[in-house]
Amino acid sequence: MRISEQQDAAASGEAEKLPHNGELRFPPVNSLGYPVFDTNGNMPVPDEERLQMVQLAEVKFAELFDILRIDRNDPNATNTPRRLAKMWVMELYKGRFDPPPALTVFPNRKKVDELVISKNNTVMSVCSHHWQTISGTCTVGYLPGDKVIGLSKISRIVDWFSRRGQIQEELGEQIADYIEELIQPKALGVVIKSRHYCMIARGVTEDEDKSVMITSVMRGGLGTDFNLRNEFLKLIS
């Protein structure tokens, strides 16, 4: 491939087949020259660039309507490309573009040495594989070290990581990594229970009431101390 062809391919976002491993490689920037990153990653994007994203995505959604042979004169669908574009950029994927939530960390002055638990924080996410809803809850518990965090802030952390394309296992690990870095707890547990609509609305079409996926991350004392782990599981059940 000549260099100009490579640039064309990079500009059009096409994958380039590299000789090693026969692996597909895509360019690290998009057609506008902005860096691209994982579906569940984060790179803050200013408001004016987000509006530009909405405009560009609207055009592409309208093209998709064409491919799916949807009549754009259908009064029920007239503004839907715009609605979809706004929904993905401003709501469902906003955790990719928002800066981290403002958080206050306090010193653990009373030397609290018991589990602190924030139960059932809302998880409203989208699976990276099918772009279908993941809906559930995330419970976080920790044994404080020298720092504690306002409990209401945990729901913001969960929401920030959820509002991206996710797989549940990585969502739990991301939340745990973030809290660990923030307050260095002696023990940390993150338990997510959720329904995956890619398994309910399509594919195996599982029963909505029965299909629940549970993942847990146990760090520090919750990974090694059997009694502490039991206490945690009893408190959150």
Which among 45-53, 84-92, 196-204, 214-222 is the span making contact with Zn ion, rule CB under 5 A?
Answer: 196-204
- Does 92 engage in binding with Zn ion (CB under 5 A)? no
- Binding-site member from 119, 130, 186, 229 for Zn ion (CB under 5 A): 130
- Does 187 engage in binding with Zn ion (CB under 5 A)? no
Taking the complex as a whole, the smallest distance from the CB of residue 222 to Zn ion amounts, in Å, to 28
| Six-digit token string for 134 | 């993941």
CB 27 within 8 A of CB 16: yes
HSE, side-chain direction, 13 A CA sphere, residue 83: 6
- Does 127 engage in binding with Zn ion (CB under 5 A)? yes
Distance of alpha carbon 194 from alpha carbon 157, whole angstroms: 17
- Binding-site member from 92, 198, 200, 236 for Zn ion (CB under 5 A): 198
| Six-digit token string for 129 | 């594989």
Contacts of 28 (CB under 8 A, 6+ apart): 35, 36
Taking the complex as a whole, the smallest distance from the CB of residue 129 to Zn ion amounts, in Å, to 4
Which among 69-77, 126-134, 174-182, 229-237 is the span making contact with Zn ion, rule CB under 5 A?
Answer: 126-134
- Does 129 engage in binding with Zn ion (CB under 5 A)? yes
CA angle, residues 124, 129, 134, in degrees to nearest 5: 20
Which among 33-41, 74-82, 143-151, 192-200 is the span making contact with Zn ion, rule CB under 5 A?
Answer: 192-200
DSSP 204: T
